Chain A
Amino acid sequence: MTISEETQARADRATTARAHPVLTVDDFSVEYRGERVVQAVRNVSLELGRGEILGLAGESGCGKSTLAYGINRLLKPPAMITSGGAHFHSREGYSIDLGELHGEDLRAFRWDKISMVFQGAMNSLNPVINIRAQLEDIFTTHRPEMSKKERREKCAELLERVGVDRSRLLSYPHELSGGMRQRVMIAMAMALDPQIMIMDEPTTALDVVVQREILREITRLRAELGFAVIFITHDLPLLLEISDRIAIMREGEIVELRDAVDLYTDPQHPYTKKLLASFPSLTGARGSFVRGHAQDRNEEVS
């Protein structure tokens, strides 16, 4: 496939995915009602296509993590959802209003349909129990009908799928490198074959080599299993490489939401332009074809 064909395939995928969204967010607002009331997310609406990678970018404090936590009902008081809602549309055909889930229903829903990969896997794993225990308790909680043997086998499989040798099952988190820990987090997130994975800065704490490997794993797994991804980061160039669409957030609002290629080549909003310009210009030697190709296209056009 040529480069332009690849880009077109991407755009086509995005359009078909959007026709059957797996998640719709309507007019979503979150406030931190502490001593001062702070509007963290303002009237955000978006749709996530089935199997799509949606990048959510913005500077620190723009509300992207709050939005993700809000959708997943992980916000802690004094943060409150003040308007709007989110609906999950399962591939089996039914829809669930995420705001209406409470208590035991919410608990059972979690991880099964929507899972999360958190930032800084430094501290996201329980330091006193081993990796296998942390993978297993997902199954003991959500799939109690599995036998011990099946569970153990599934855990080993999961690890190998993310590229970690199964001998590491009995290790403790502090015995693993940062990259390995993040892979374990991804393995955990995939355990119940979710339809959406929300990734909050999953590669921020890692060096570039490991970063690249992790990104490759994510795209590969997505192709294999077909889950949608909301990828949250402040690193815009990274999103440009792997996302189908990108949403730019600023002070709680989405200022631009378009296909990745279009966003890079033809940014509309002044803030997006500023963001793009603030990254050091690439020589094109490293990085994906999108950037290099877009450079060429610009020169052709002008």
Chain B
Amino acid sequence: MRFLLQKVAFYVVALWAALTLNFFLPRWMPGNPVDMMLSKLAQKGPVSPEARSAIELLLGTNSSAPIWEQYFDYLGKVFAGDFGVSVAYFPASVGDVIGRTLPWTIGLIGIATVISFVLGIVLGQLAGWKRGSWLDNFIPVTTMFQSVPYFWLALILLFFFGSMWRLFPLNGGYDVYTTSPGLDWDFIGSVLYYGALPALTIVISSVGGWMLGMRNMMVSTLSEDYILTAEAKGLKPRRIMTTYAARNAVLPSVAGFAISLGFVVAGSIVTEVVFSYPGIGSALLQAVSSNDYSLMQGIFLVITLSVLGANLLVDLLYTLIDPRTRARA
């Protein structure tokens, strides 16, 4: 229990750090983001006083209020979910834009990461078990895929499967012409079809890393004493491979999930751009090109929150699969 509280406390600290970073960043940067944004907004129509004050709070201000007061007002606004109005998607509020795009990204990354993880772990387990076999020489090939930049792989896949052999669509999240959002099979099928290539990109790029890590840990674990005991006990090889070896070897992969998730998030942002997938990554890029700073801030916070949440979940999962952690605290 105490371990749990420690973990949650850590994530609260991390969230606070992200919020604070978000607050000070625009104030440290050269140039005046507030003015830039206000002028952009003004091109779309008159700027209401609420919009103005929201932007000033989020980005830094010409007002004379002391910095601590601004900071707490900012926190208040953030917790109320008010990030102001978006320039790139005017007149939608930042909250609206995020609400529209976030589910797509979470769906895509979520599914792709799970597939990638499971595939990588299973393959790594087999590769590590058959130590010194041909599978060993297969590993460098998969690591080559690991160093392929996500977006380049995306471009190649798009080229072959989208343009050359017209198997998959070139862009979008679903077929806007024939279906509309809803919980029917048509829509879901369309979503899966459109999401196949982006998901494939993410899976191919990240599976190598999981596989390599698992394989190395399997080889390491197989020289442990309890494996010898299991063999001497006359247990079936399959059971030794799974319950004795893999069960222990998978632990560092789960523990190192945080590092890997960072790469996946980075990769998927770029993948979304290539496929024009209607996710939060595309929205972020749109925001950048329009100097839409409040949208950028909002998106950054939401991505951070999601990543922190995912990490917390994985940490909790880890305490379930490694009984020694419950004693450690």
Contact = CB atoms under 8 A, between A and B. Distances in A.
A108 B234 contact: yes
B112 to A, nearest CB: 28
B323 A128 contact: yes
Contact of A74 (B231, B239, B251, B327): B231
B321 A126 contact: no
A182 interface: no
B228 A118 contact: yes
Query: Counting chain B CB atoms within 10 Å of each CB, which of A127, A130, A138 scores highest?
Result: A127
B229 A127 contact: no
B236 A111 contact: no
Interface string B199-240: 000000000000000000000000011101111111111010
Interface in B151-184: none
Contacts, number: 78
A116 B232 CA distance: 7
Contact of B233 (A110, A128, A130, A175): A110
Contacts of A126: 226, 230, 243-244, 247-248
B129 to A, nearest CB: 14
Interface string A127-146: 11110000001100110000
Interface residues of B, number: 24
Contacts of A110: 231-234
Nearest to A188: B233
A160 interface: no
A74 B234 CA distance: 11
A27 B77 CA distance: 85
B273 to A, nearest CB: 42
A124 B244 CA distance: 11
Contact of B239 (A128, A137, A175): A137
A111 B247 contact: no
Interface of B: 224-226, 228-237, 239, 243-244, 247-248, 251, 321-324, 327
Interface of A: 72, 74, 106-112, 115-116, 118, 120, 122-130, 137-138, 141-142, 172, 174-175, 185, 188
